[in-house]
Chains A and B, each alone.
Chain A
Amino acid sequence: MQETIDDAMDKGITPSQTVGPFFKYGLTPNGQYDWNDAFTGNLVTPDTSGERVRIEGRVFDGDGAPVPDCMLEVWQADSQGRFADPQDKRALPNAAFRGFGRCGTDADGAYAFDTIMPGQVPDPDGKPQAPHILLAVFGRGMLRHLYTRIYFGGEAANDADPVLALVPADRRATLIAAREPGGIYRLDLSLQGDKETVFFDI
Chain B
Amino acid sequence: MTLLYPVASNAAHPAPLSPEYKSSIKRAPSMPLIPMRHTLSELTGPVYGHETVRAGDSDLTTQHKGEPIGERIIVHGRVLDEDGRGVPNTLLEIWQANACGRYIHVRDQHPAPLDPNFTGAGRAQSDATGYYKFTTVKPGAYPWGNHHNAWRPAHIHFSVFGHAFISRLVTQMYFPNDPLFPFDPIFNAVTDEKARGRMVSSFDLENTQPEWALCYRFDIVLRGANATPMEKQ
- Which residues from chain A sit less than 8 Å from chain B, CB to CB? 1-2, 5, 9-27, 29, 32-36, 38, 61-63, 65, 67, 69, 73, 75-77, 83-90, 98-100, 121-124, 129, 132, 134, 136, 138-147, 163, 166-167, 171, 191-193, 196-202
Which of B22, B27, B46 interacts with A85 by CB under 8 Å? B46
**A193-B159 Cα distance, complex, nearest whole Å:** 29
- Residues B91 and A99 in contact, CB atoms below 8 Å apart: no
Closest CB in chain B relative to A38 CB, distance in Å: 5
**A142-B19 Cα distance, complex, nearest whole Å:** 11
Write out the residue numbers on chain B whose beta carbons fall within 8 Å of the beta carbon of A26: 93-95, 120-122, 157
Write out the residue numbers on chain B whose beta carbons fall within 8 Å of the beta carbon of A12: 9, 12, 82, 194-195, 198, 221
Known A-B contacts A38-B48, A88-B40, A129-B39; the reply to A22 vs B91 at CB < 8 A is no
Which of B48, B95, B131 interacts with A2 by CB under 8 Å? B131
- State how many residues of chain B have any CB contact under 8 Å with chain A: 93
Write out the residue numbers on chain B whose beta carbons fall within 8 Å of the beta carbon of A84: 46-47
Across the interface, name the chain B residue whose C-beta is closest to A146: B29
The DSSP consensus for interface residues of chain B is loop
- Residues B194 and A88 in contact, CB atoms below 8 Å apart: no
Which of A99, A193, A199 interacts with B34 by CB under 8 Å? A199
Across the interface, name the chain B residue whose C-beta is closest to A87: B44
A-B contact count (CB 8 A): 262
- Residues A16 and B120 in contact, CB atoms below 8 Å apart: no
Across the interface, name the chain B residue whose C-beta is closest to A141: B23
Which of A38, A85, A139 interacts with B45 by CB under 8 Å? A85
Q: What are 23 A-B residue pairs whose CB atoms fall within 8 Å in the complex?
A: A1-B131, A12-B12, A12-B198, A13-B223, A15-B196, A16-B13, A17-B155, A17-B171, A17-B190, A18-B21, A21-B108, A38-B91, A76-B41, A85-B44, A87-B163, A98-B46, A100-B46, A142-B27, A143-B18, A192-B26, A192-B27, A201-B7, A201-B36
- Residues B105 and A21 in contact, CB atoms below 8 Å apart: yes
Shortest 10 CB-CB contacts between residues of A and residues of B: A26-B95, A141-B23, A100-B46, A201-B33, A26-B121, A141-B27, A62-B26, A143-B14, A22-B105, A85-B44
Write out the residue numbers on chain A whose beta carbons fall within 8 Å of the beta carbon of B48: 38, 98, 100
